[in-house]
Amino acid sequence: MATCGEVLVHLLERYGVEQVFGIPGVHTVELYRGLARSSIRHVTPRHEQGAGFMADGYARTRGKPGVCFIITGPGMTNITTAMGQAYADSIPMLVISSVQSRSQLGGGRGKLHELPNQGAMMAGVAAFSHTLMSAAELPAVLARAFALFQAARPRPVHIEIPLDVLVENADALLGTAPISIARAGAAPAAIRQMSQLLAAAQRPLILAGGGAIDAAPALTRLAETLGAPVALTINAKGMLPGAHPLLIGSTQSLVATRALVAEADVVLAIGTELAETDYDVTFAGGFEIPGALLRIDIDPDQTVRNYPPQVALVADAHIAADALLAELNRQPLPPRRNDWGAQRVTRLWADLTPTWDAATRAQSVFLNTVLQALPGAVIVGDSTQPVYSGNLTLNPDHPRRWFNSSTGYGTLGYALPAAIGAWLGRGDGQPVVCLIGDGGLQFSLPELASAVEARTPIIVLLWNNQGYEEIKKYMLNRAIEPVGVDIYTPDFVAVAKGLGCAAERIQGSASLRMALRAAADREGPTLIEIDQGLWMNEVAV
């Protein structure tokens, strides 16, 4: 007899799942009965939040949903933060948990790991949460989850399986075939209307977000056809090569870039929610789009949020970009103003570059040193100072090479487990770098042991400023006496070595290059600690 738990694993294989993150417990062991005989790899984090962040990082580099097996009750409360980050960033994640037996649901009888309504709690950080009331429902709910991942705005999905359903006979479901869903096409009428407005524009501009990440080649051709400057959100970095003459980067929160956006007569926003943390990180308002706004998004609701459009299209970004290109190629385009396009972008960078302060310049040297030593690296960031600088100044040449938790939901401790997942998802052996501060690392420090156990040779770059320096500055700027920000920081090198990692402290760019190259040749994880004060003094720019 094949139980529901065994058949679940079998169906996940058929949907192409290759990796699961989870911590086995008495309420999830029935899932593992099938897992041991499957082709799916399992990685054990040291905390369920780590499982969620690993699944997040895996999904971002692999382009497929990250999958977690999570225990009832505390396991689910632990993973909610990671699901919140994934929800904010539209990352596909499938969280499968146990729950009390059907006769015990909501009983309040003090059962092990009992919550009053686990599904309701998870609904706030998931596209949907479903309680499987019989094994027979399993194919339909999995089809629903993967339909969302394939053809809608991807977000976490939670499926909870009562303990008595997990052991039900599900032999009849073994032959179930996966269902594949095509993404939404582009409505011809909307494409014609948008192309007419873009063709007539003298100063067109493109704002692209993470929802368009798979449309990078088409978007680049579209920008070049229009001569349109392109601004990218943090999750969209790399969609245009870093040296592309039309690339504005991710500088939308800066005064000079806002002025450029305000000059545009037609703005195409594609795969972006136009949200505060990408466009208005001063949190004081001021980002405006006076020109005609055209919005393309896979989520109908998102096309009218934050900034109302003149024309909106619900479609896959790649299909829509290709359709716009085809329509624009059918008509002669009028000559553009000679002070727009690449010329205007050149002027923008000439205005921006002198405005970087000493800290931003020094941290940019740090990031460029990393990429010079490891040109193919993925950099997974936390909320820490070099990440904030990189969000503004760093422009990688390929998508899925720079992502972090400093925008959107804004969690701390994300980068370490997400880097583990990213390395597993990338699958090409190229370096994955975790860029994290001393405060953030203490949120998820035990996951270094997970990296050792999983044999993931991630490189942890620890930017140490002995506390929560950005929050301390924020408090001082508001005339608040700092409290709770000067935290104790342990000997991270000793801790990392104790957990099985290689570890060292470095000073200056030359020693950083040597440490990075040595780390890239290792089979296991490496922690490299950089003292902020020493770096700033030695690499004064």
DSSP 169: B
Position 283 scores a pLDDT of 56
The CATH architecture annotation of domain 188-351 reads: 3-Layer(aba) Sandwich (3.40)
Give 108's pLDDT tier (boundaries 50, 70, 90). confident
CB 154 within 8 A of CB 91: yes
Mean pLDDT of the chain: 92
Read off the pLDDT of each residue in 427-449 and give the average, rounded to a whole number: 95
- Looking at domain 356-538, its CATH architecture is 3-Layer(aba) Sandwich (3.40)
**Residue 276 banded pLDDT, cuts 50, 70, 90:** confident
Nearest to 19 by CA among 58, 52, 53, 75: 58
Q: Homologous superfamily of 4-173 in CATH?
A: Thiamin diphosphate (ThDP)-binding fold, Pyr/PP domains (3.40.50.970)
User: What is the rounded CA–CA span in Å between residue 482 and residue 491?
Assistant: 24
Per-residue confidence at 136, pLDDT binned at 50, 70, 90? Answer: very high
Give the strand order in the sheet containing 502-506.
Answer: 402-404, 378-381, 432-437, 459-464, 526-531, 502-506
Q: How far is CA 425 from CA 60, 68, 151, 359, 458, in A?
A: 8, 14, 21, 33, 12
CA distances from 498 to 43, 267, 445, 487 (A): 20, 53, 12, 22
Looking at residue 224, its amino acid is: E
Which range among 2-16, 26-40, 233-247 shows the weakest confidence by mean pLDDT?
26-40
Tokens of 523: 């089979």
Pick the closest to residue 49 from 439, 538, 475, 414 (CA basis): 414
Radius of gyration of the chain (CA): 24
Alpha-carbon span 448 to 379, nearest angstrom:
17
Sketch the domain layout of the chain as residue ranges.
4-173, 188-351, 356-538
177-199 per-position pLDDT tens digit: 999 998 889 999 999 999 999 99
Give residue 170's pLDDT.
86
Which tens digits make up the pLDDT trace of 42-62?
999 999 999 999 999 999 999
The helix/strand/coil state of 112 is coil
Look at residue 309 and give its three-state secondary structure.
coil
Fold match between domain 4-173 and domain 188-351 = yes
How far are the Cα atoms of 98, 190, 264, 405, 437 from residue 204, in angstroms, in the given order? 51, 17, 6, 31, 39
Q: Quick: pLDDT tens for 91-100.
A: 999 999 988 7
Residue 390 has pLDDT above 60, yes or no: yes
Does the pTM exceed 0.85? Answer: yes
Q: Mean of the pLDDT values across residues 498-505?
A: 96
Residue 426: C-alpha distances to residues 90, 134, 149, 454 (Å): 19, 36, 19, 14
Q: What is the Cα–Cα distance from 133 to 165, expressed in whole angstroms?
A: 7
Q: Pairing mode, if any, of strands 432-437 and 204-208?
A: unpaired
Residue type present at position 353: T
